[in-house]
Amino acid sequence: MALIVIGKNINLREVNISDAKFLLSLRTSPLYNKYLNKTDNDINKQIEYIKNNILKNDDFYFIVESKDGKRYGCIRIYNITEETCINGSWIITHDAPYNYGIESYFLIFDCAFYYFKVKNAQSSMNKKNHILINFYKRMGLEIVSEDPQQYHFHCSKEKYGEIRRTYKRFTVEHFCIKTTQQV
């Protein structure tokens, strides 16, 4: 079974093998990979990564797509426990409408707090990625630690509820997730 998180203008659809070329193009593009971990430009490795990801119960990799199915990026939620999860691998294409990135941010946190029912969410960000660091701070995430390369952010379910109310124009009124057959 695959998850689809339903948004206002976009959905988060769990990746499948047919997304391998798209994901590889994002992760190896100089436009998008400046602050990412290095990815080998090898389609077979990408396919294997997706296959292995699908088999995990604590790792969900989503395609950000418009309601008509056009792909505009990706985002992950992983290391999911009762207490916490990590959000990451977030890439939005430059041709995406401005609100798709913001909406995907809210959908992944909705998924964390309302579907997986975690109490806290975490994200890490390369210290050189000033645009996303500022975005995370505006969204109310707090830096709780750092290492030489990254800031580590935290958000509680309660804090997220406040943030969500402030930015309700980017969120769905009622969180909805459905399952489909994995392709």
Q: Domain limits of the chain?
A: 2-180
- Strands 120-126, 71-78: pairing kind: unpaired
pLDDT digits (tens, 9 = 90+) for 49-68: 999 887 787 899 999 999 99
Q: What is the reported pLDDT for 173?
A: 85
Is 53 or 16 the better-scoring residue by pLDDT?
16
Question: Three-state SS for 181?
Answer: coil
Q: Does residue 177 surpass a pLDDT of 90? A: no
In the numeric block, which tokens belong to residue 129? 């990625």
pLDDT digits (tens, 9 = 90+) for 56-101: 878 999 999 999 999 999 999 999 999 999 999 999 999 999 999 9
The helices-and-strands tally (H runs, E runs) of the chain is 5, 9
pTM over the 0.95 mark: no
In the numeric block, which tokens belong to residue 105? 């941010």
- Chain mean position to CA 75: 3
In the numeric block, which tokens belong to residue 20? 């391998």
Question: Three-state SS for 11?
Answer: strand
Q: What is the reported pLDDT for 33?
A: 80
CATH no. of 2-180: 3.40.630.30
Q: What is the reported pLDDT for 180?
A: 80
Helix axes 157-166, 98-110, angle to 10 degrees: 150
Count the residues in the chain. 183
DSSP labels, 76-119: EEES--SSEEEEEEEEE-TTS-HHHHHHHHHHHHHIIIIIS--S
Q: What is the reported pLDDT for 39?
A: 84
Q: Does residue 131 surpass a pLDDT of 60? A: yes
Q: What is the reported pLDDT for 136?
A: 92
Contact 16, 3 (CB under 8 A): no
Is 142 or 173 the better-scoring residue by pLDDT?
142
Q: What is the reported pLDDT for 2?
A: 87
